[in-house]
Structure 1
């Protein structure tokens, strides 16, 4: 998986966690120290993931386009092909079995 895919997966899981903590908070009541700490931890996780996403995007930078290679239309020197076989046809001085 790419970094982008991994970050998206983590974001979905974190969103599920936030929803679950919200439901738990409604069931237990929002006044307890423990549930406030869990809520605070999920908030910190969201902030940390946002920072990580920014870092990953800036580290990857813009997509680099490879340098283009120009291929000339001029014919190649025939002497380059003197000692080569025709692909699929075998050598010129030999016969197929």
Structure 2
């Protein structure tokens, strides 16, 4: 399946969920905390799928980021000559 097909399937499932939540609201009422949370969660899912659909429609969105290889070899010690050891103070000086 393509991403478009998967998003369409997810949208259909959310539509079914929304209809079911609507029927539950009619039977149980919409004033209870539990029902309000279920409605809010269903709405949040709908918004999230809409954001996914928008991101998938942008060109280059399916590309993976370029990986950067970090070598295992030790760094050149000369890079650290003019630095202080963190928490230890400057070289050659002693704590009072």
Quote the offset at 1:60 in angstroms. Answer: 5.0
1:25 paired residue number: 25
1:88 paired residue number: none
* Deviations 1:10-40 (CA, angstroms, capped at 9, x unpaired): 0000000000000001100111000000000
TM-score (norm 2): 0.61
TM-score (norm 1): 0.60
RCO comparison, higher one (Cα < 8 Å, 6+):
2
> Quick check: 1:47 aligned with 2:71?
no
Deviating 4+ runs (over 6 angstroms): none
Unaligned 5+ runs, structure 2: 62-96
How far apart are the structure 2 equivalents of 1:24 and 1:14? 15
Count of aligned pairs between the two proteins: 61
Unaligned 5+ runs, structure 1: 62-97
Q: How does 1:1-97 map to 2 (within 5 A)?
A: 1-59=1-59
How far apart are the structure 2 equivalents of 1:10 and 1:56? 14
Give the RMSD, CA atoms, in angstroms.
1.3
How far apart are the structure 2 equivalents of 1:51 and 1:59? 15
Q: Which has the larger Rg? A: 1
